[in-house]
Structure 1
Amino acid sequence: MEKSPLISVIVLCYNQENTIGRTLDSIIDQKTNYSYEIIIGEDASPKDNTRAVCEEYAIKYPNLIYLMPKQANKGLLQNYSDCILQSKGKYIATCAGDDWWSNPDKLELQVSFLENNNDYGVVYTDLSVINVDTKEFLKDFNTSNHKHMPSGEIYKELLFENKISACTALFKKQLFLENVDLSEFKSLGFIMEDYPMWLELSNQTKFKYLPVSTSTYSVGDGSLSNNNEFGKIEEFELNCNLIRKHFISKYPLNGIDDRYLDRNLYKTLVLRGTVRKHYNEARFYAKKIQINSVKDFMLKTICFTPAIFLFSKYLKHIKCA
């Protein structure tokens, strides 16, 4: 009888013909004592030959790769859900078709930790970031930016910022099956799967951050989370706030309510608009901020004076927003 793999690696891809091979090679090259499988969710890419590349890999590695059957486009949440239901592993890792694992010991490090620490259910790591438009490459992103990366019970910290890049994470499948309902996320209007998933799981288990870079994450001006078009920025941040409001109602924290979250949203959009020189949009959200502190007063004042141009340069210099 064939033994089930310990790890299932889910690869979601869509119009990524030029990068999916690199992604799959980086997973195949993992050096681990633990068995794993690769589940590819190719979501009916209409513009290129992504599926043809995936089919080549599935034929070449029949005992390692399972390519989900060809269907009409499902969308991110349904595609991810179907891949998890197909998976056989105790642990789940994910990697999008334009990212890749730059550390061959990723799975070994993470599974070894979870196998020896039963009170933890999710482990994530540092990463490198490449901007596919500017070709700017930043190694060890969290370390380079001196970011505090939480471990243990991290719900409150996650509520204000999603610090976990999905391509770096590995989690227990059973925790997901018992607590995460992607169809509910979809019905609530969430446009992403990872952030609400982390918020739910952070109320069920401990998270562990390993300060070693394992993955390279691709960003570009066209992505929702990293976009120069303010409408896309706004869509992303408004959806993040929708997610936060859902979870603060489900898992309340003292002193944090919808008004508190809205204030943080407005400030975030002011900063993200200013750094990208969307000054009218930044001023629109600045008007919504009620002045409760000197910092609030200064931020609103800056937005409605020529100082906003210098502030934009400063924010860009410190790589803010």
Structure 2
Amino acid sequence: MSNITVSIFMLTYNQEAFIAQAIEGILMQKTTFRYQLVIGEDASTDTTRQICETYASQYGDRIKLLPSPATNGGLIANYMRTIAECDGTYIAICDGDDYWIDEYKLQKQVDFLDKNPDYSIVYTAVKRLYSDGTYIDYNYSLNKKHLDFDDLIIDNFIHSVTALFRNVQSKEDSIPSWIINFPFGDWQTYLWVLKNGGKIHFMDDKTAVYRMNIGVSSAYMKKTSVFIEVLIDILEHVFVDENFSHKKQIIASSILSRNKDLMTCFNREKDYLKGFQLFLKILKTTNKKIQFIRFYGYSVYQSFT
């Protein structure tokens, strides 16, 4: 590792309306340690790159700009190349259309992880910003004292703009290349960080703003069944990855749960054929067949109400 305590990686493409606010939220951080903003700029066709270049020229000691080649490489390719350039002890995320609002965000999170070596990730509450200008406070904290891999594999409850996590990357232990197959990489990265243990801590502070209905992952979420299919695909990749072999039981449980969600979603979207096909697939594997048949019947009934 370098003498950088926190690397903040920021992905941006055609975000000229938002990128300055995102960068300013990083630069306002008050810390007792060194941090560096690593910007993966993916060949924007608007003025995003020029804005990033202006900031990089003014704050060269705190900003590392990674301009893409002439063509756009795509979000996840940009994700992989940018996180590989993060060599701080810890890593934080702030996409180019989100921004931080707490000038002590990094200091509070680093202080916690420094004092608690058994924790690997800390995240916070967030403000969600909708297209009509409305802000809604969002606080997703499970009613458990300790959160870990077994909780996160069931559901990604972490808003990436609020997260700080230990940088576990090394030449011998890099983030798996299969992440490149998916439209986003934050959930898989958190799971990777937690694969050998480590807990998750939630802070009730509202440290950041997340813009709703913007970006690639938001496009996938517009049709729920498509988004769930992506999550199942990710889980199946995690399941066969030998690095997670000691977690197969909980991963399998999460896959089953997501398939049930998908079946219900197909029925809700009136795609009854796909719903029935998935019902038959799950029925073969479950030990609670009567209970599951009733569950399926109820999901069909609910689709008509």
Shorter-chain TM-score above 0.5: yes
After TM superposition, the structure 1 = structure 2 runs for residues 269-308 of structure 1, keeping only pairs within 5 Å, are 270-271=264-265, 274=268, 279-281=269-271, 283-287=272-276, 288-289=278-279, 290=283, 292-293=291-292, 294-303=294-303, 305=304, 307=305
Question: Counterpart of 1:239 in structure 2: which amino acid?
Answer: V
Question: Counterpart of 2:189 in structure 1: which amino acid?
Answer: M
TM-score by length of 1: 0.78
Question: Counterpart of 2:133 in structure 1: which amino acid?
Answer: K
C-alpha distance in 1 between matches for 2:199 and 2:145: 7
Once the two structures are TM-superposed, the CA of residue 85 in structure 1 deviates from its matched residue by: 3.2
Once the two structures are TM-superposed, the CA of residue 228 in structure 1 deviates from its matched residue by: 7.0
Percent identity, please. 28
Q: Please identify, of 113-122 and 69-78, the stretch whose mean Cα deviation from structure 2 is larger.
A: 69-78
Q: Could you tell me which of 238, 247, 252 is aligned with 1:257?
A: 252
Aligned 8 A contact 2:98 2:210 in 1: yes
Deviations 1:222-258 (A, max 9, x none): 653466743xx43332121111122234434447638
Question: Counterpart of 1:171 in structure 2: which amino acid?
Answer: F
Once the two structures are TM-superposed, the CA of residue 197 in structure 1 deviates from its matched residue by: 1.3
Once the two structures are TM-superposed, the CA of residue 4 in structure 1 deviates from its matched residue by: 2.9
Once the two structures are TM-superposed, the CA of residue 111 in structure 1 deviates from its matched residue by: 0.4
Aligned 8 A contact 2:183 2:217 in 1: no
How many residues are paired up?
286
Deviations 1:83-137 (A, max 9, x none): 23333421111100000012111101110011111222221111111123x4332
Segments of structure 1 that go 5 or more residues without pairing to the other structure are 308-321
Q: Which runs of 4+ in 1 moved over 6 A?
A: none
C-alpha distance in 1 between matches for 2:27 and 2:263: 40
C-alpha distance in 2 between matches for 1:180 and 1:292: 42
Once the two structures are TM-superposed, the CA of residue 297 in structure 1 deviates from its matched residue by: 2.8
Determine whether 1:15 maps to 2:14. Answer: yes
C-alpha distance in 1 between matches for 2:238 and 2:222: 28
Aligned 8 A contact 1:78 1:182 in 2: no
C-alpha distance in 2 between matches for 1:23 and 1:202: 28
Provide closer, same or farther for how the CA distance between residues 165 and 207 of structure 1 changes in structure 2, counting only shifts above 3 A: same
Q: 1:318 is matched with which residue?
A: none
Once the two structures are TM-superposed, the CA of residue 270 in structure 1 deviates from its matched residue by: 3.6
Q: 1:218 is matched with which residue?
A: 211
Question: Counterpart of 1:184 in structure 2: which amino acid?
Answer: W
C-alpha distance in 2 between matches for 1:227 and 1:82: 23
Aligned 8 A contact 2:178 2:237 in 1: no
Once the two structures are TM-superposed, the CA of residue 15 in structure 1 deviates from its matched residue by: 1.0
C-alpha distance in 1 between matches for 2:164 and 2:36: 14
TM-score by length of 2: 0.82
Give the aligned CA root-mean-square deviation in angstroms. Answer: 2.8
Say which SS state the counterpart of residue 280 (structure 1) adopts: coil
Say which SS state the counterpart of residue 160 (structure 1) adopts: coil
C-alpha distance in 1 between matches for 2:90 and 2:185: 17
Once the two structures are TM-superposed, the CA of residue 184 in structure 1 deviates from its matched residue by: 3.1
Aligned 8 A contact 1:162 1:195 in 2: yes
Q: 1:237 is matched with which residue?
A: 228
Provide closer, same or farther for how the CA distance between residues 69 and 45 of structure 1 changes in structure 2, counting only shifts above 3 A: closer
Q: Could you tell me which of 153, 157, 162 is aligned with 1:159?
A: 153
C-alpha distance in 2 between matches for 1:26 and 1:19: 11
After TM superposition, the structure 1 = structure 2 runs for residues 1-321 of structure 1, keeping only pairs within 5 Å, are 4-46=3-45, 48-71=46-69, 72-132=71-131, 134-139=132-137, 141-142=138-139, 147-148=141-142, 152=146, 154-173=148-167, 175-177=168-170, 179-186=173-180, 189-204=181-196, 205-220=198-213, 223-225=216-218, 229-230=222-223, 233-249=224-240, 250-251=244-245, 252-254=247-249, 257=252, 261-262=255-256, 264-268=258-262, 270-271=264-265, 274=268, 279-281=269-271, 283-287=272-276, 288-289=278-279, 290=283, 292-293=291-292, 294-303=294-303, 305=304, 307=305
